[in-house]
């Protein structure tokens, strides 16, 4: 599946395998690696038709390989074909899905990572390995900035599964000498995020309202603060982590938080509308546990990687609303006849 990059491979010699390549982070990482003349391989589930909408512009430049994180033989086969210098494990069961199906979350996010690391150890032992870890490994109620020394205390099944993958990465590094690093990623977004994500719902509502459509958006926790990094900045940090000769686990974050209400205000202001006319507060459930409101301290990543976020919060909001406007059907756009 996908394009053939034998010419580029011969020219550069750098090869990378990405799990979760069809997702938000995976698609941005694939583009970054192609710009650096890598040969890029992506793992897609063998049992289903791959969703490659985010990859349409680069499909001819990458190679998609069938495989599942619950099938180690398929992982060995994909690694044998791609012969990667770098392996990026970005695949996971989403946080929302994890809450609904915790056993499957553990099977993919935790045991799947173990299978992949085992396949790398068996098939490409000199490859550098990156594990994407969620900030949900931390407690959502501690309040202070989280860094590499913050005690773990996951409050969700997604966090529990990701913590197992994180510790497995450390074990591979310490017990077997694998060049394995774990990036603890604070929340980040982009126009490529799932349509069910809060920020996508807001961006879509602003776009539809600007086109004269009737919009009423019910949202909880408008005052709750969270990080809103850009996925493009996040994958830049991920790539930098594997370029270091010494593997290291690092927190990747913007170090600033904004409220959902502020996101709404900026999104509707971008299309010259007042968000208060379209957004209604919805009472929060007393049993709901927020798992994504940590504030990240990425000072170590900035120092070690020479990395810093480039996209500001207002720029992120504007980019997402622009994408939502472009996605409107022609008959639904403002000014169309």
List the structure tokens of 320. 């997402």
- Percentage of the residues of the chain whose pLDDT score is greater than 90: 77
- CA dist 92 and 74 (Å) reads 17
Q: In Å, what is the CA distance from 168 to each residue of 108, 114, 117, 231, 290?
A: 14, 7, 8, 25, 26
User: Higher confidence at residue 259 or residue 333?
Assistant: 259
Same topology, domains 6-188+228-252 and 191-226+256-284+312-332? Answer is no
Segment 129-152 mean pLDDT: 88
**Averaged over 63-86, what is the pLDDT?**
96
What pLDDT was estimated at residue 213? Answer: 96
pLDDT score at 282: 85
Beta bridge partners of 15: 39
pLDDT band at 10 (very low <50, low <70, confident <90, very high): very low
User: How many CA atoms lie within 13 Å of 197's alpha carbon, on the beta-carbon side?
Assistant: 19
Q: What is the mean pLDDT of residues 216-223?
A: 93
What are the CA-CA distances from residue 311 to residues 190, 294, 295, 316, 317 (Å)? 10, 19, 17, 6, 10
Report the distance separating Cα 263 and Cα 281, nearest Å. Answer: 14
Quick one: tokens of 277?
A: 């006319």
Nearest-10 crossing angle of helices 313-327, 260-270:
60
What does DSSP say about strands 258-259 and 188-189: parallel, antiparallel, or unpaired? unpaired
* The pLDDT of residue 283: 78
**Assigned fold of 6-188+228-252:** Rossmann fold (3.40.50)
| Number of continuous H segments (helices) and E segments (strands) in the chain | 12, 13
Q: Domain residues of the chain, as ranges?
A: 6-188+228-252, 191-226+256-284+312-332
Global pTM reads 0.91
> Regarding beta strands 86-89 and 62-66, do their DSSP bridges make them parallel or antiparallel, or are they unpaired?
unpaired
Identify the architecture of domain 191-226+256-284+312-332 in CATH: Alpha-Beta Complex (3.90)
- Cβ–Cβ < 8 Å for 192, 27: yes
Residue identified by tokens 């994890």 is 98
Q: Is 49 helix (H, G, I), strand (E, B) or coil?
A: coil
Find all residues with CB under 8 Å of 78, minimum gap 6, and list them. 17, 41, 43, 65, 66, 67
Arithmetic mean of pLDDT over the chain: 89
């Amino acid at each position: 599946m996908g394009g053939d990059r034998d010419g580029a491979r011969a020219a550069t010699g750098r090869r990378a395998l990405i799990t979760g390549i069809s997702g938000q982070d995976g698609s941005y990482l694939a583009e970054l690696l192609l710009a650096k003349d890598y040969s890029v391989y992506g793992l897609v589930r063998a049992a289903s038709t791959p969703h490659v909408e985010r990859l349409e512009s680069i499909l001819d430049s990458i190679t998609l390989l069938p495989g599942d994180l619950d099938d180690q033989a398929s992982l060995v086969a994909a690694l044998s074909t791609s012969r990667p210098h770098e392996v990026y494990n970005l695949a996971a069961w989403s946080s929302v899905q994890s809450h609904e199906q915790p056993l499957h979350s553990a099977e993919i996010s935790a045991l799947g990572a173990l299978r992949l690391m085992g396949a790398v150890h068996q098939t490409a032992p000199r490859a550098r390995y990156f594990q994407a870890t969620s900030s949900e490994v931390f407690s959502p109620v501690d309040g202070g900035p989280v860094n590499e020394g913050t005690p773990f205390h996951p409050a969700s099944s997604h966090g529990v599964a990701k913590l197992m993958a994180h510790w497995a990465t450390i074990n591979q590094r310490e017990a077997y000498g694998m060049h394995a690093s774990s990036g603890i990623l604070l929340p980040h977004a982009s126009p490529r995020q799932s349509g069910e994500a809060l920020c996508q719902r807001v961006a879509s509502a602003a776009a539809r309202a600007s086109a004269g459509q009737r919009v009423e958006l019910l949202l909880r926790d408008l005052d709750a603060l969270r990080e809103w990094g850009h996925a493009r900045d996040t994958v830049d940090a991920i790539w930098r982590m594997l370029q270091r000769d010494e593997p290291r686990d690092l927190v990747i974050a913007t170090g600033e938080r904004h409220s959902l209400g502020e996101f709404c205000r900026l999104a509707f202001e971008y299309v010259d509308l007042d968000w208060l006319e379209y957004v209604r507060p919805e009472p929060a459930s007393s049993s709901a546990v927020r798992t994504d409101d940590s504030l990240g301290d990425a000072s170590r990543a900035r120092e070690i990687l020479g990395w810093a976020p480039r996209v500001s919060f207002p720029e992120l909001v504007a980019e997402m609303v622009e994408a939502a406007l472009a996605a409107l059907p022609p008959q639904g756009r403002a000014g169309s006849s």
